Amino acid sequence: MDQQKTPLYSSLVQHYRHYLESFHVPGHKFGAIFSPKGLTFFRDILKLDATELTGLDDLHAPESVIAESQALTAALYGVNHSFFLVNGSTVGNLAMILSVCGEDDLVLVQRNSHKSIINGLMLAGAKAVYLSPEFDPEVRVPAHVKKDTIKAALEQYPQAKAVILTNPNYYGMAVDLTEVIEEAHKRGIPVLVDEAHGAHFTIGSPFPKSAVECGADVVVHSAHKTLPAMTMGSYLHVKSNLVSLEKIRYYLQILQSSSPSYPIMASLDLARHYLAMIKQEGINEITKQIQQFINGLNEIPQIKVVYSKHPEITTDLLKVTVQTRSSLSGFELRQQFEKHGIFPEMADAHNVVFVLPLAKDFHLDKTLKNIKESLKDVQSEGFKLPDIPDHPYGKIAEEPISYRDLKTYSQKVVPFHEAVGYKAATMVIPYPPGIPLLMKGETIMKEHIESIQQLIDRGARFQGSSFIFEKQLEIYT
């Protein structure tokens, strides 16, 4: 297939160029009507903000230009089918889960999954066995699930309808999933991978091995995260005999707007085009420039670029994790950078994560100077990283959580210290990285409460519970 083509984007442009009179939605009529305040930024994109007009296909029943653009994407990624998503990887995760499991079906799920994975299980009323990840002592974050953990779970739960993994994690740490996927496939169990942060892994070396290459059945990609696509633009890829394309299509149609955004879809077409046009020399140059950036960062005494030393982990070149070597926490380090106009992706207690672009000539030398400048008054003398508290990420869930049963319990809100021993009635999600610290239905331990308290003290934000900052939690009774 000719990857130079952009069937959807090109038809939108053609429609606009030949275009005369719009008597359809949207109400802005290709930008002819709009709040004058916003025209500077919106004028051009509104020319492509169309609807399901003749010739522009229909995302929910694609036959022409959307079908072609999706087919080009599938060809590039080497899968049977690619779906364009306009509601982020969130909707991809929800749809892939709903398509493989119904009420009370058991699934094996990585403990440090994005909240959309857990929400999918809840909507399905599934029964989840959570697999605890390894904790990485260098980066100080939860990472992958060990092969042995997955194999033991497959052994213990042969009735599982799916294995649901996240790879890489938010910090770009990835493992080769081939072996565990083969193990699951031997038992006829499909493996679904949330590879939100790895839409570019298909390039190959020096990037980690992609989930598709490892043999995953369904893979979800946030195209907007590492490729140049508009926010909310994602892909869902299927290469499997074990899952139903029709069911995935069905749930995507339910969970996505019946008026999907053409600009977002067109940006997915263009992001695929961008990715397809990258040449080996480009990759080499990007690699060289990022390596120089990292070397420069490591000359700054108040910070250190950290990587996992785990032999199985490969870290994405585009994710650079900087760890504090000063009295500043990761959160404070970010504030310091932001004061100097440098906006990183996220911070945790000890780290700040930079997401670098899949492009060369991004003025990384200038950024390096700014970072040095931003830290010049920060002391690094006598610094020691605090001990890592024994936190609940590492605990193995004792029993499956049945999301169907949870629906029948009643709830109340209690102070932190009274919550211990009860089942949590809400997820507690420090954000970023959006990994649930407490899951709905999970028994609350003293360690959970301590971790929440620490995160509050260190300035984290939370999604899920709305009572956290009043030091209260929702519980099931």
Residues 9-38 touching its own copies, rule: CB under 8 A, are 9, 13, 18-29, 32-35, 37-38
Beta-bridge partner residues of 128: 107, 401
| Span 208-227, contacts to its own copies by CB under 8 A | 222-227
Strand 346-347 and strand 351-355: the pairing is antiparallel
254 binds its own copies (CB under 8 A): yes
CB of 432 to its own copies, least distance (A): 8
Alpha helices in 162-302 (DSSP H): 178-186, 211-214, 223-226, 245-255, 262-277, 280-297
Among 53, 71, 203, 406, binds its own copies (CB under 8 A): 53
Rounded Cα distance, 304 and 392, in Å = 26
Closest CA to 161 of 194, 195, 145, 184: 184
Q: Using alpha carbons, list the distances in angstroms from residue 222 to 86, 227, 234, 236, 292.
A: 10, 8, 4, 9, 27
151 binds its own copies (CB under 8 A): no
CA angle, corner 113, sides to 100 and 345, nearest 5? 130
Give CA 416 to chain center in angstroms.
30
- The token pair at 77 is 């990624």
CB of 42 to its own copies, least distance (A): 6
Closest CA to 154 of 178, 186, 117, 122: 186
Among 187, 412, 417, 461, binds its own copies (CB under 8 A): 461
Rounded Cα distance, 296 and 38, in Å = 40
SS3 151: helix
Q: Which segments of 148-233 are extended strands (E)?
A: 163-166, 173-174, 191-194, 218-221
CA angle, corner 21, sides to 16 and 22, nearest 5? 80
Q: Which stretch binds its own copies (CB under 8 A): 201-209, 308-316, 333-341, 383-391?
A: 333-341
SS3 113: coil
Among 1, 14, 61, 386, binds its own copies (CB under 8 A): 61
| Span 284-323, contacts to its own copies by CB under 8 A | none
Residue closer to its own copies (CB basis): 270 or 419? 270
CB of 389 to its own copies, least distance (A): 25
Sign of the four-CA dihedral 244, 250, 256, 258: positive
230 binds its own copies (CB under 8 A): yes
Residue closer to its own copies (CB basis): 1 or 25? 25
Residue closer to its own copies (CB basis): 115 or 144? 115
Half-sphere exposure of residue 273: CA atoms within 13 angstroms, side-chain side = 17
Residue closer to its own copies (CB basis): 151 or 360? 360
Among 62, 172, 208, 260, binds its own copies (CB under 8 A): 260
Site string for its own copies, 388-427 (x = CB under 8 A): -------------------x--------------------
CB of 359 to its own copies, least distance (A): 4
Backbone Cα Rg of the chain = 23
Closest CA to 352 of 379, 325, 378, 370: 325
Site string for its own copies, 171-210 (x = CB under 8 A): ----------------------------------------
123 binds its own copies (CB under 8 A): yes
Q: Which stretch binds its own copies (CB under 8 A): 129-137, 151-159, 249-257, 381-389?
A: 249-257
Residue closer to its own copies (CB basis): 26 or 301? 26
Residue closer to its own copies (CB basis): 140 or 273? 273
Among 2, 17, 40, 410, binds its own copies (CB under 8 A): 40
Q: Which stretch binds its own copies (CB under 8 A): 52-60, 146-154, 309-317, 417-425?
A: 52-60
- Number of chain residues interacting with its own copies (CB under 8 A): 112
CB of 308 to its own copies, least distance (A): 20
| Span 77-116, contacts to its own copies by CB under 8 A | 86-91, 94, 102-103, 114-116
| Span 430-459, contacts to its own copies by CB under 8 A | 431, 434
121 binds its own copies (CB under 8 A): no
Rounded Cα distance, 62 and 342, in Å = 41
Rounded Cα distance, 427 and 464, in Å = 5
Rounded Cα distance, 206 and 298, in Å = 21
Among 14, 159, 231, 379, binds its own copies (CB under 8 A): 231
CB of 119 to its own copies, least distance (A): 4
Rounded Cα distance, 105 and 197, in Å = 28
Among 67, 179, 362, 402, binds its own copies (CB under 8 A): 362
270 binds its own copies (CB under 8 A): yes
CB of 380 to its own copies, least distance (A): 22
